[in-house]
Structure 1
Amino acid sequence: MKFFIIAGAINGFLSVALGAFGAHALKERLSEKYLAVWETAVQYQMFHALALVAIGILMSSKLLGHVTSLNTAGYLILVGIILFSGSLYALSLSGISVLGAITPIGGVAFLVGWIMLIVAATKFAN
């Protein structure tokens, strides 16, 4: 599905841009702890951006096609990026530790998204 390829490409772009921003603009402004949190957000965003692209390719191929579990996987991974990486970016910039409570919700969305990808592969692949 074109949506997931575009969403993955946008998130890949943002991951590179935010990684560079963290390495250059924030290096002197954030503590080591919060810079490490920022880097974790960047890494997870990139890994899952690639997953979105892969899901989009699988949906447009004849291998798995447009199956509900792939669609669900894509949306869960996208929500995971927003909640997981987004909360870590906000935490790094603000220092408000309660924002860290949102991060595990994004992590669960990632996990369920990967499970749905497994379901799609085992249920519908030849």
Structure 2
Amino acid sequence: MVLLVQFVGALYGLLAIVFGAFGAHALQKSFTAELLKSFETGVKYQMYHALLLLVIGFNFNLETTLEKSMAYCFMVGTFLFSFSIYGLTLSASKGRKLKFLGPVTPLGGLLLAFGWGLLLYLFIKNVV
């Protein structure tokens, strides 16, 4: 599990750099300012959680159900949140917005929030 979390963290970090550069250079011509801002939000959240996955991958054994659930929330939540934003913004720039992705973004955000809640619970559990 630890290697999976580290791998996904490194992959998300790599893709965040690639997508960020793509957004900064190639998409400026075809995106409105609003679409570009949304795309950048997806990249930022992806990078934040890539770094977080690396941190938890190197600092937790990820053996308990609680730790595994936290890691899955971050991995799946990041994918759903950021990649749905990419799909929404790219399709909107082409005039064919993929509306089915609309509910996916908040679901990803909910998983991310739940992952942070589990991380907080882990810290509290170890202190109390």
The alignment's TM-score, normalised by the length of structure 1, stands at 0.89
Alignment of 1:108-123 (within 5 A): 108-123=110-125
Match of residue 37 from structure 2: 36
Q: Which runs of 4+ in 1 moved over 6 A?
A: none
Report SS of the residue matched to 1:28: coil
Match of residue 16 from structure 1: 17
C-alpha deviations, 1:38-73, integer Å up to 9, x for none?
Answer: 00000000011111111111224xxxx633212111
Matched, 1:74 2:71: yes
Q: What are structure 1's unaligned runs of at least 5 residues?
A: none
Find the aligned partners of 1:7 and 1:97 in 2 and give their Cα distance.
26
Find the aligned partners of 1:46 and 1:125 in 2 and give their Cα distance.
29
How far residue 5 of structure 1 moved from its aligned partner, in angstroms, is 1.1
- One-letter identity of the residue aligned with 1:2: L
Find the aligned partners of 1:110 and 1:88 in 2 and give their Cα distance.
15
- One-letter identity of the residue aligned with 1:122: I
Find the aligned partners of 1:72 and 1:124 in 2 and give their Cα distance.
17
Equivalenced residues, count? 122
Do 1:69 and 1:119's aligned partners in 2 also have CA atoms closer than 8 Å?
no
Find the aligned partners of 2:60 and 2:25 in 1 and give their Cα distance.
37
Match of residue 107 from structure 1: 109
How far residue 100 of structure 1 moved from its aligned partner, in angstroms, is 2.4
